[in-house]
Structure 1
Amino acid sequence: MDNLVKYVLRSSYRVRVLNAIGNDVKMPSQIAKQSNVLNNHISRTLRQLREHGLIELINPEMRCGRLYRLTNCGLMVLDNINEK
């Protein structure tokens, strides 16, 4: 868990994206708007967070209107980050 927290804290984009998603289900455009991260950075950040098991894509068959949410691990990392 500590390694994942450190991984997220190394990038302000990762921290902002996790905070933007929170307990909700959101599309990349909503995440970009709430986190103030440009769309081209959002795609890369979402991919990185998925690869580390912190977020999940709930409708992978969709090309448009993809929906993301935090995994249980992602929620624990976010709680840990917000405690600091």
Structure 2
Amino acid sequence: MNDDEILIKCAYVNTSSYRFKTMIAIGVSIKTPKEISEDAEIRTNHISKVLSELKNEELVVCINEEARKGRLYKLTDDGVVVLNKLLSSVNK
């Protein structure tokens, strides 16, 4: 992903506090939607929608898509880059 694509993805995540909180909650871990919901302090029904949006942008991936319950999510490599960029701009 080049710098322009990173900035576009950062803007996309930054326009929604739910997307930003979800990515922070996942971080470098692998988590279920329930864990993400608890860590981000966002209701589970909202997390499902946000995870779907982030999956479409290829920032998050479900590593056991076939499971009906207990799906596990993690950030993609691009997702980690975007999160680090956002966090570094917040900490300035």
Regarding TM over 0.5, the answer is yes
Structure with greater Cα Rg: 2
CA apart distance, 1:5 = 0.1
Alignment-mate amino acid for residue 38 of structure 2: K
Name the residue aligned to 1:62: 67
Alignment-mate amino acid for residue 40 of structure 2: S
How many positions carry a matched residue from both structures?
A: 84
TM-score (ref. length: structure 2): 0.90
Name the residue aligned to 2:82: 77
Q: What does residue range 5-84 of structure 1 map to in structure 2 within 5 Å?
A: 5-84=10-89
Alignment-mate amino acid for residue 6 of structure 1: A
Unaligned residue ranges in structure 2 (runs of 5+): 1-5
Q: Find runs of 4+ consecutive structure 1 residues off by over 4 angstroms.
A: none
TM-score (ref. length: structure 1): 0.99
CA apart distance, 1:40 = 1.0
* Identity %, equivalent residues: 38
Unaligned residue ranges in structure 1 (runs of 5+): none
